[in-house]
Structure 1
């Protein structure tokens, strides 16, 4: 059966709810054209197991929808799916709208911290274009930040995006948030896996799901982990997602008065009980879990605040 032309599970403001219009995307970025072929339904598409094709698609999406004219990432760095990343932004924007008569506040007075901004810097790019927010992007990978800075410079975004190197692998907010600095939101897509081996096994499953020359591709790769890119810090850390988020929650208490909403993606539903226990230990005043889905992929945002409603409005 031919698939539906809509992605109704995405956020209502997400501009990617319709199936990709490859004619328009190729008009926006001719570099995508060589990768567009007819699929088994007779529709234009790309081979999503081809990292170069996925990157070309991202470049076209960024040009067509977000007026990002220059975007590139080094080989073997994470190439993010833009519709899902956009969903995260729109859902956390709704958190701010609660105290603004249901209207999402826009403009550079809204400051957002992206923990683990990466070489792709996708959240600041989408957030500055969709809501005109101002971003700080932090990462422990200096090479990733160098690439992100090139994107900032090439698109004349230095007035709204500031990049900071996190010098401590054991810290999340400490060393990044400055004294007296305030943010409306923090966001994070934490490392998913707990080890290199776990990351490689996860990538193997993804290749099988794509069902595209799996055995041949894996046999030709020194490390099958890097299917769509992803450096070590992007894919895994000791203790995986659960441990990383536990550190984030613990440190958030230290900056309780400097941010309205702390948020993070949680990919593994099994990690939610430990996340809630950690939030209870730091006495978070309000905790919200927002379910998200994109196709067969399910994830959720966990958001918490230490401020009451009047403090949030005053902030």
Structure 2
């Protein structure tokens, strides 16, 4: 399978994995096909087997450092893939093998698993990785070297007084994204109580071998990511997407509330649920105006107040209009507007860019007046083309006519003006209501 487009895990077939990996087969046989996830040896055997079988990666982790479960780690990276692919400056909404991306793994850990998964699945990507813990940092370097990925990575051992996103010390000017699996616990007592199952109806699903340094931070995951938010308010567009994992929905909600309070209007929310009762939450935010697709930015498992504004608008075609006529209507309507427009008839999809509300009556009257003046001067087409080439994009959109569902799908690709986006959707819809 092509790792660049490998889907998220839904479940793991342990029996099939045992047939693929000799070391894991020994563990499988020892437990008579019933794995004991409270046993550190078992969890490490499973992690190593999955990384080897599914990604061709080899792992060495000290016994006193976190051995990460592969499914939720990969599902986070898979989510990042879709986030970046759907906010591609080319508006392609798919994996671009030639797109060079630079990411940062904040607190990479002894496994460097996020860094390795990113590098292994996307050959054109490079990664920066940081950690404050010397033992974890050295182990991360060994794993990257062991897998021949070290030349595409830039490692930095940090200290507490340095920023969590230390661009200056890394020697990079901009990043496309950050990933982070923050310490989930506020103090050592909180960690011990949680891992022992104190106050819960059931104990932890799997043993945790993480050190206190990996698992504990003042304020827990909320405190750690609040610090990232504060840094992002200074760095702003120097990082396209800031992202982090959360152990509790309450922490994710609190961070979204903080982002809204600080005036951030472009964010995305994800959920990782591979079964077993343990869920993780993802929040991403950006000061850049590329808009992620609805499927990655909005989930059903959280209240609407924590979700970003929808980036997709659908409406059904009237019974009197067939798909061919709808395609013609969309294409001709866009061509009449002062927009950059590219229509692909084979896929019934068009992508456009506008400098503002170019569909308003006032704008269209003024535009027609200018066109007449330019035509009279004999320079109309050239001057209008130059205007389009030089324009500042306020809204980018994609319109697709789906024959199978008889729907028109309008997607918000770029822009920061919610009112402008809603107005555009209304304009497209009205053109069919008149028919």
Which TM bucket (shorter chain)?
0.7 to 0.9
1:101-160 CA distance string (max 9 Å, x none)? 220344671111111100011111111122222211111111101011111111111122
Q: Distance in 2 between matches of 1:266 and 1:211?
A: 16
Are 1:174 and 1:251, in contact at CA under 8 Å, matched by a contact in 2? no
Tell whether 2:100 aligns with 1:109: yes
> 1:160 pairs with 149, 152, 158, which one?
152
Q: Distance in 2 between matches of 1:169 and 1:52?
A: 36
2:385 alignment partner in structure 1:
none
> 2:45 pairs with 48, 56, 61, which one?
56
2:255 alignment partner in structure 1:
275
| Unmatched runs of 5 consecutive residues or more in structure 1 | 1-11, 213-225
Q: Distance in 2 between matches of 1:108 and 1:156?
A: 21
Compared CA separation, residues 15 and 187, structure 1 to 2 (3 A): closer
> 1:182 pairs with 163, 169, 174, which one?
174
1:26-53 CA distance string (max 9 Å, x none)? 533x2223211387xx8x3422111111
CA RMSD of aligned residues (A): 2.9
SS of residue matched to 1:173: coil
> 2:285 pairs with 290, 301, 304, which one?
304
> 1:74 pairs with 40, 48, 62, which one?
62
Compared CA separation, residues 174 and 135, structure 1 to 2 (3 A): closer
> 1:252 pairs with 212, 232, 237, which one?
232
SS of residue matched to 2:104: strand
Q: Distance in 2 between matches of 1:168 and 1:105?
A: 37
Q: Distance in 2 between matches of 1:107 and 1:55?
A: 35
Compared CA separation, residues 78 and 26, structure 1 to 2 (3 A): farther
What is the number of equivalent residue pairs in this alignment?
284
Q: Distance in 2 between matches of 1:280 and 1:227?
A: 36
Q: How does 1:121-132 map to 2 (within 5 A)?
A: 121-132=112-123
1:215 alignment partner in structure 2:
none
> 1:17 pairs with 3, 10, 14, which one?
10
Q: Distance in 1 between matches of 2:25 and 2:211?
A: 28
Tell whether 2:68 aligns with 1:87: no
Are 1:76 and 1:229, in contact at CA under 8 Å, matched by a contact in 2? yes
How many Å apart are 1:63 and its aligned residue? 0.9
2:192 alignment partner in structure 1:
200
How many Å apart are 1:277 and its aligned residue? 3.2
Tell whether 2:20 aligns with 1:27: yes
How many Å apart are 1:180 and its aligned residue? 5.0
2:127 alignment partner in structure 1:
135
SS of residue matched to 2:68: coil
Structure with max Cα Rg: 2
Compared CA separation, residues 208 and 148, structure 1 to 2 (3 A): farther
| Unmatched runs of 5 consecutive residues or more in structure 2 | 291-392, 395-412, 415-435
Q: Distance in 1 between matches of 2:208 and 2:13?
A: 20
SS of residue matched to 1:74: coil
Q: Distance in 2 between matches of 1:186 and 1:200?
A: 29
How many Å apart are 1:201 and its aligned residue? 0.6
